[in-house]
Chains A and B, each alone.
Chain A
């Protein structure tokens, strides 16, 4: 595993579409990419992919890594000729939708002719027709239409899903813009960590879980954490990278390493060990204070069964929840190395110490 491989993994993971609730195509890619990285793979009742990489100690501790593989999207609410009305899956923001290309996945009569989906475009009333006031107002989602360019669209049914296109675009400075960095960047880091662990000794069993339905309520994390029943868990997600026009207080610097979360959601003993792993590696990381809910899978995992000591590493992503989310590839690689090192340092004494560190 190295930085170039991280880029290749990421590209394959963002190119597949999987809005919350229909993650199966992503699950297939995750399993294919993990073939040589894990010894076992299974899919649970909600669709989360659970990979297992056994540790050297029998029996050793159990650590769960969780990175959600679903993404925000759109759902068809009405078909009107060749135009579709749509609603949100997760937090698809109306402001950024006009002028976007989308892929619609039809399931109606004749849908089998479109295995790669239909191409649609979200336009708007021509500016020539609008008053100055209207030109400054964001069109609400309910008034936007996906134009398929077709005379009629009997192959599309109400409930069919669509995803805004955001191809993998390499920018300057080792940065990449694409859709679905939230949270395929973290799925990439999780698989990358398994790759790095292949060359390291680790005592604990690693359960790497690509979870479903995070964007609609952390549902995949809830059930998969129950199923895995780990001793400790790390959620891997993205956080707000430094963004033009936003205060530094609200964001995390880009390309300065992963953010290690701190707050009520996160176990101090886990946080301490994540920081120690970063220090041991001499990779940069950022401390991210989170005073309440972290809004990540970690929030659900922490209160699973009798409670699970949980940590959180976040990859800074600029322009979150847009098709031009931006990341520094180096931050994904650093997250992968941090996680691998953290895991390799887990020994038989950790579980006894954690209760004293909370």
Chain B
């Protein structure tokens, strides 16, 4: 668990919006060296690691993936005033942009997204989330020349959030950081590589999930697996609600790995769901099901690869994803590793069939 936390901290603090996953990839490559037999980087930047199975041939080929990219923004224009206008990379939540610290470009130049003072805003303006077009990153530069020395059009940026431990209680160990969607999945996938499994394992760290599951699609084609498991950091909405408010929490923090039955990108393969249920029961791991019909994951692209791939998504619940920081429970993360490791040991052809 200490290892998982240390890995998550490193990954969370690293810089990697969709299309610019280079630094995260380099970090993961270092982390998994010695744990895998072979590592490749494909045309889009996916990191594909191979770990041969220990079981007798013919062996099943399993692809377990997690995406390296995170939501962020891109510099679109530097105004004469020195203000930097930006666009969304992925599903950046407009409500979360006001009065924030950000870093821009590979040098991580600090900037802020400011907010007009309350004293000088109209009442209705105070109640409305501003359009992205009305926001800008302020580097402190007095004009475009001063700003242009440090930041250029096309540079990527992220929130300046740093990883923090919130609770050391072994029954409820929580941490906070940015990009848990999906550095939590990357951390679990790295954790899985500590062991060798009966099956051939392709551990794939994908790119560009947040802009449309782009990396997983081509990685799925290249690996052509018999079955696939995507590891995610997923929506958790378990803040206390008013008693009469009928809101399902999607997932709950600390209630174990969340298995997806259906989301906007796919209907999970029933055999793969059963594999997770069986593995959880055998290992005594509590699991939960993500509320159906929300979000999409790399599984959505992978299950449609070639002639189709049995797939499922297993996720670590994260409060406040797509905001500057998320909160997760390390027990959920550790149990995700345990659950998927057990599944990789248990999986056989019977789980990949559909009942007639």
A interface residues, Cβ below 8 angstroms from B: 80-81, 83, 91, 93, 95-96, 98-101, 119, 121, 123-129, 135-139, 145, 147-151, 167, 169-177, 240, 243-246, 250, 254-255, 318-324, 326
Contacts and interface: CB of A to CB of B under 8 A. Distances in A.
Contact of B322 (A126, A145, A151, A320): A126
A101 B325 contact: yes
B128 interface: yes
B110 A171 contact: yes
Interface in B175-193: 175-176
Contact of A243 (B95, B114, B141): B114
A324 B99 contact: yes
Nearest to A144: B239
B112 interface: yes
Contacts of A322: 98-99, 114-115, 117
Contact of A121 (B81, B101, B320): B320
B95 A145 contact: no
Given A96-B98, A129-B294, 7 more contacts: A121-B176, A128-B294, A147-B319, A172-B146, A319-B117, A324-B99, A324-B112
Interface residues on B, range: 35 or more
Contacts of B110: 169-171, 177
Contact of B240 (A81, A245, A319): A81
Contacts of B254: 151
Given A93-B118, A125-B237, A324-B112, A244 B81 contact: yes
Contacts of A169: 101, 110, 112, 160
A343 B274 CA distance: 81
B172 A151 contact: yes
B250 to A, nearest CB: 7
Given A83-B239, A100-B99, A246 B116 contact: yes
B171 A175 contact: no
B320 A123 contact: yes
Main DSSP-derived SS at the B contact region: loop
B140 interface: yes
B320 A319 contact: no
Contact of B320 (A124, A150, A250): A124
A168 to B, nearest CB: 11
A81 B150 CA distance: 45
A125 to B, nearest CB: 6
Interface stretch (B34-42, B47-55, B162-170): B162-170
Given A129-B235, A149-B167, A99 B140 contact: no
B320 to A, nearest CB: 4
Given A126-B322, A129-B250, A149-B327, A119 B95 contact: no
Contacts of B154: none
Contacts of A95: 98, 115, 118, 126-127, 129
B295 A128 contact: yes
B34 to A, nearest CB: 33
A83 B322 contact: no
A150 B323 contact: no
Contacts of B128: 136-138
B172 A326 contact: no
A318 B254 CA distance: 41
A124 B321 contact: no
Contacts of A326: 112, 114, 138, 140
A123 B323 contact: yes
Nearest to A80: B240
B280 to A, nearest CB: 23
Contacts of B150: 172
A332 B118 CA distance: 23
Interface string B117-146: 111100000111100001010111110001
Contact of A150 (B118, B161, B166): B166
Contacts of A138: 95, 126-129
A319 B112 contact: yes
Contacts of A91: 118-119
Contacts of A149: 166-167, 174-176, 327
Given A129-B294, A177-B140, A243 B117 contact: yes
Interface string B22-52: 0000000000000000000000000000000
Given A81-B240, A138-B126, A151-B169, A124 B323 contact: yes
A319 B114 contact: yes
Contacts of A124: 93, 95-96, 320, 323
Contacts of A324: 99-101, 112-115
Interface in B191-239: 235-237, 239
Nearest to A127: B93
Contacts of B327: 121, 123, 147, 149
A150 B294 contact: no
A138 B166 CA distance: 27
